[in-house]
Chain A
Amino acid sequence: KNEVEQSPQNLTAQEGEFITINCSYSVGISALHWLQQHPGGGIVSLFMLSSGKKKHGRLIATINIQEKHSSLHITASHPRDSAVYICAVKPYWGRGGAAGNKLTFGGGTRVLVKP
């Protein structure tokens, strides 16, 4: 079983719909990242969070540390939101430096927003 599981693997929505992507993890963490990757493109960090909720524009990320679960919501989705969304966790090894910042990645959720 992977340490980080995302659902769904694929999602198709109509423009304007509310989208939710889920991420569950099985290890203790000190931070969780949500990343975005457009087709053929690089990877961009959207959020890094360790508790509560963060909002940036139409994107909202929440995390429940006790339940080891995070969600990424896209409100009023738009075709330009079509991308792969990746959840990654920083396991809490109690170490600093580069080793402490190693990430474990989920398999990604491919989102297609149709006009």
Chain B
Amino acid sequence: NAGVTQTPKFQVLKTGQSMTLQCAQDMNHNSMYWYRQDPGMGLRLIYYSASEGTTDKGEVPNGYNVSRLNKREFSLRLESAAPSQTSVYFCASTESGLPYEQYFGPGTRLTVT
């Protein structure tokens, strides 16, 4: 049971480049989330997905797109990276319904120069 996995672990992009961050979970969770973590800002929700084929904006969605490919996978795409998107990105998953524990991936450290 790998839990929540993310790839890549580290990435450096130039301004304007695009990339996709991958996330997968093997716990059969319905709900998945993408967060960014910046110094002094705490974790902020970018997008979330209640189930396959459904996505919703979170607190800071601008500059990002997401795809819930199937129940296991939830990807985050930066179409045209900007230095302001330098951050650590975490994917998380949880059951739907009652308040359930969220399980986090190991994070992707992204630097945009």
- A residues touching B (Cβ–Cβ < 8 Å)? 30-31, 33, 35, 41-45, 48, 50, 86, 88, 90, 96-103, 105-108
Return chain A residues, CB-CB under 8 Å to B106.
41-42
Chain B 88-101, CB-CB to A under 8 Å as 1, else 0, gives 00101011111111
Q: Which residues of B contact A97 (CB under 8 A)?
A: 30-31, 50-51, 96-97
The B interface, classified by DSSP as helix, strand, loop or mixed, is loop
- Nearest-Cβ distance from residue B26 to partner chain A, whole angstroms: 16
Residues of chain B whose beta carbon lies under 8 Å from any beta carbon of chain A = 30-33, 40-45, 48-51, 54, 56, 58, 90, 92, 94-107
Q: Is the CB of A100 within 8 A of B102?
A: no
Q: How far is the CA of A91 from the CA of B91 in the complex (A)?
A: 20
Once bound together, how far apart are the Cα atoms of A86 and B102, in whole Å? 13
Query: Given that A42-B107, A50-B99 are known contacts, is A99 also in contact with B56, CB under 8 Å in the complex?
Result: yes
Q: Please name all residues of chain A whose beta carbon is closer than 8 Å to the beta carbon of B97 when the two chains form the complex.
A: 96-97, 100
Separation of A35 and B103 alpha carbons in the complex (Å): 10
